[in-house]
Structure 1
């Protein structure tokens, strides 16, 4: 009976996405393995992107596959979706060459291909090229949209809200203290930024500008602030 490495991967953004979770991938691989009479050795990388092959469990799987065929205890690697391995054509091409030279199989269930065959290798290469093209197109469109929004004066990204009590205290401190002293005082009082991290001079400067602009009745005008920052 053949033993295949079942590789699972999900990025941070994909963890909550339907059909991309680790459990869904595991179920797909297990059913495929049962149908082919394989044993499965599981490896998984959770919260990691496929932009590179520098993933701990993937590298461990490749190391296990990299020994000589006579000493190897696994016959290949199987994934539910090809992009669970890589979205880079160059990286995937290197993996294909490694599979050929070491004589192990790479199976992508979503494509129904096995790279130990010439046809399976051809289809896998074409699909990886399409996946990389799609990622680059999405990136270009996102960048263009962000630039258009920036020109229109719209904010892009998550907006964090500073608690009113913290904002008032920041204004009060800035009336008589430098940025550094204000950050130290806020941290000493256990008050954090809107994202829950300690204050820095830069964070105080940015927060003060936002608070001063949005406060309907500012407690202190800019002329009250010390010139030294």
Structure 2
């Protein structure tokens, strides 16, 4: 028989679609617990603010304190993205409290700390590549930011260029450039497959240029345009 202190984290934005909804996590805990296991009440629920210092996670500190007082293990319903958070893993390592994650039961603090450090370095590199790509797009004349339409120059009108084709091409370039930071953020979270990126974009409520859902092929076309 094992005693646990439950720790949940929820987001104030798009809880259900992001998979961070409290009910989904509670269900994961129910599936994880075995007959005879007990949980110390009440559970601790953290509302994520986007910040990642110890002071910004008071419920985590309280949960760890409860573990020390009762000898229970910390039970985390959903670790995945927190596994890439160096500050969070460092807090666990310093706590001398045993923890178990329902979605990553084989995880241990030392291994996670290494993975978090690697992910942090990869995020830094992606940020550098994003800045370079944005600078290159700007140098090609692409207007960065949200797409607001496109007007041909007088010179282009004078040459009699096909306005419709120019508008479509420029609009696609601007749309791709506006999504570049989002793609970089998704990749920094360890999501690199076409299908994974498509799902992440859909989960964020970001439609395609046509207003539809993302699919691996549409993500592939987007990345090719960004790399052009």
Question: Quick one: higher RCO (CA 8 Å, sep 6+), 1 or 2?
Answer: 2
Q: What's the TM-score once normalised by structure 2's chain length?
A: 0.49
Larger Rg belongs to: 1
